[in-house]
Amino acid sequence: PPPPPSASPPPKRAREGVPPGPGHFALLAHLRVLCGAVKATRALGLAVTDLVEGVVDGSEAAHGLFSERRDEYAELERSCVGGLASAAAAEGATPDDAGGKIPGMDRLVRWHAEATERCAVVLAPAPPPPPPP
């Protein structure tokens, strides 16, 4: 049998990261939307499971929709946070709200905390199967 998707290396675009520039802000927006979609899909999966009284495991189906991209996701988050920090510190970067080109530690900590929260949602293990009907 072929190896599970998690055993394969991340795709080339994830390994290479996002090139310096405004792409990190677009990637951040994408990751935020994706995390919201994962939350909504999992909630829908639970609702379907409840609606059909466990005959169909909607939670597992919802989890399966995103499982192929799990390895890539963590690398994209890492690339995004690193890129946001380096783009802000790059020569010619526009000053931030505090007047400096390098983001303050509070903003770096916030970006990291947000990425950690998104990873906890997207990379969460599959839910346990529903009890038999």
Q: What is the pLDDT of residues 101-121, one digit of tens each?
A: 555 667 778 889 999 999 999
Is 50 exceeded by the pLDDT of residue 1?
no
Instruction: For residue 90, name the pLDDT band (cuts at 50, 70, 90).
Output: low
For the whole prediction, is pTM greater than 0.75? Answer: no
CB 74 within 8 A of CB 82: no
**Choice between 61 and 85, residue whose per-residue pLDDT is larger:** 61
Task: Give the chain's end-to-end CA distance (angstroms, integer).
Answer: 32
Q: Which domain holds residue 87?
A: 22-91+99-122
The answer to the question of residue 62 being in a domain is yes
The answer to the question of residue 60 being in a domain is yes
Q: Which one-letter amino acid corresponds to residue 113?
A: A
**Predicted pLDDT at 106:** 75
How many domains does one find in the chain?
1
The answer to the question of residue 127 being in a domain is no
